[in-house]
Amino acid sequence: MFSVQFNTTDELPEPSPNLINQVIGQDEAVKIVLSAVKNKRHALLLGDPGVGKSMMVKAFGQLLEHSSEFKPYSLIARPNMKNSEKPIVDLIEGRMIEETIQTQNPKLMRQPPSIFTLLLGIIVSSLVLSYILNGLSDPSSKFAVIAAISVIGSLLVFLILFLNIFGATKASMPNTVSPADVKPVVLYECKKRPLVRASAYNTTKLLGDIKHCPLGGKPPIGTPPHKRVILGAIHEAHKGILYVDEIKTMPVDVQDYILTALQDKQLAISGRNPNSSGASVETNPIPCDLTLIMSGNMDDASNLRAPLLDRIDYKVVLKNKMDNNQENRDKLLQFIVQELKNNNLRPMTYEACCEIVKMAQLLSGSKNKLTLRLRQVSNIIKMANDIATGKELAESIEEMSEETGPELTVKPVEKPGEKKKTKKIMKVVGKFKPKKSEDTSHKKIVSKAPVIEKEDETVISLEHINEIVNTGIYSMTKQVAIDYLKNFKRYKNIVSNDVPKTGVIHGLAVLGADGLGDVTKIITKIVKSKHPRTNLLNISGDIAKHSITLASALSKKLVSDGTLSIAKAKGGLSKEDLDLAEHEIYIQFSQSYSKIDGDSATAAACLSIISSLLNIPLKQDFCITGSLDLNGDILAIGGVNEKINAAKEYGFKRVIIPQSNLEDVIDPEGIDVIAVTRLEELIPLVFELDNL
């Protein structure tokens, strides 16, 4: 299976710390995207979930950390004294130093006098008043001076008290600004070449925003606009890489902003919410000279607008399968070791690793391929580790009960001064301890050896992997399939290896993308009718009607023109029998509750119709799957291994599959697998011709 022999994965070398070496099966894509990053070209990664798109970008980010060409920079926001709704964002090259930020010197606000100033003024006024009164001899003049000063002093005291106690607002003093409202704000410090990740649907995170201020957004009550600026990922990725995932969720207006940023290499920030106080605020264009990498599933590219898609230089499609050879099996083993190491899991046995390879074959749908949807494989490994290190439910409940039970003792908390007192008391008590008797012959001497804790020898074995696979907890569709088969299989009227029957055949289908195979009984009845038409009776549910139409048309053609040897073997058909326009064809997918009938059932349906038309029984010891075209060729289908396993489960002796699917069969043991290419090859295999 592998190029190395081992008992457990502990014997294998540890994975490389470089993430670029941990990307499995995407060597060609890695080279292309690495060239794009090096030459500052934009790239689009398309592929199935779990094939390594995010892992690849994360590896590029690790490489960027060691870039020597990058120069640090900082982004600061400062107010615009001419228009407060247009804050200014500046880029400062080099390491940001506090002294480099030049604070503007606006006209400062006149602050009201303090209480100490008031007391000092009263004292000085009293001294001046005493001096003036001493120089006046006329009592009326003294009274007039005292009255005038008292009125002026009362007004001054009232004004000062009003400003200090009731708080006159800054708005009452025009053309004045607080020093705190004009201090620049550091928005972002970039010390290494950045790799910024953002989701396509989060507009604020991607493009930036202006915070809402419930107090109007203007000084002196509200927060000034330059302090409410939020940088977007597109600005933080300046001189680096911006990675945008899940492009299917990207709104059209966001695509327009990204297109503008790629064209102009700068983008202003404005309020995104029209009901916010930041809606009227917009900064100057902020530099965003970056390399854009976007990723999504195969069908997500249709969501991108053509102008933006044209701006993407590299469109890379990641593989979802790799060849099943020695080199790639070793790579899959490397992936297993990586997952065990990176997630701190228990080691895995050789047999369990071989089972993971078989699972990779099954998930790929072919024995000659291995899946590259490695996230699903990783989930199986993690869950197997949980089972290997887990305990029975009763043991877990018992442990939790012991931890929370009344036996749990709580250590009393000593006060700082009590610790020293306790030590002194223990010394005194030690002096009164009785001396040990020298005669210790009657006592048993027990030597206390150091306790050596045994290492946890738990490993992930083949049984743990099989338990995960059999329960299907790694896939929702497989769990649904298991539940369906468990509940309805015993109700299905399917008898394997029964006596030959006319118009009855057993087809094969798969429940769900990662589900299980199942056997479906197909029954056809043909009756004569005075009205020339063909009816397709669907009792079982939602079938592919175009497939049944094709099977019906093909069977009529082959029987009516006599090209099938089976018609000649029957001695030919009467003219009335050949007049198929006066026959009604009824087809039933018996007890097909899961809607699993479709294109792969056309071969089975066609044989069932032919059997009913010629009244020749079909053997019941086989299942068949395959798609037909109008030329009678049997075409490839999907899920061949799941279907073969279903035929085994029901106990059939034979299974008939398309020739093109033969190389995909992983485990043919236990059943006779027959591969065919044309409909004529099926006649001697499926019909009971001995009694003709």
Catalytically active residues, by annotation:
600, 643
Unique residue bearing structure tokens 């950390």: 65
At 347 the three-state DSSP class reads coil
- Among 658, 656, 654, 655, smallest CA distance to 678 is for 658
User: Do 642 and 666 contact (CB within 8 A), yes or no?
Assistant: no
Q: DSSP string of 466-492?
A: HHHHHHTTT-HHHHHHHHHHHHHGGGS
How many residues are there in the chain? 692
Q: How far is CA 264 from CA 149, 197, 289, 523, 610, in A?
A: 69, 21, 9, 67, 68
- Among 228, 231, 230, 227, smallest CA distance to 242 is for 231
Q: What are phi and psi of 656, to 5 degrees?
A: -110, 125
Unique residue bearing structure tokens 């390399």: 291
How far is the C-alpha of 301 from the C-alpha of 298, rounded, in Å?
A: 7
How far is the C-alpha of 99 from the C-alpha of 266, rounded, in Å?
A: 27
User: Do 278 and 223 contact (CB within 8 A), yes or no?
Assistant: no
252: CB partners within 8 A, 6+ apart: 305
How far is the C-alpha of 223 from the C-alpha of 345, rounded, in Å?
A: 50
Q: How far is CA 636 from CA 552, 603, 608, 633, 658, in A?
A: 20, 11, 20, 10, 6
- Among 405, 428, 348, smallest CA distance to 380 is for 348
How far is the C-alpha of 5 from the C-alpha of 100, rounded, in Å?
A: 63
The angle, 0 to 180 degrees and rounded to 10, between the axes of the packed helices 462-471 and 350-364 is 30
Task: Please name the helix (run of DSSP H) or strand (run of DSSP E) that holds residue 35, with its range, or none.
Answer: helix 27-38
How far is the C-alpha of 692 from the C-alpha of 678, rounded, in Å?
A: 23
Unique residue bearing structure tokens 């299917």: 248
User: Do 78 and 86 contact (CB within 8 A), yes or no?
Assistant: no
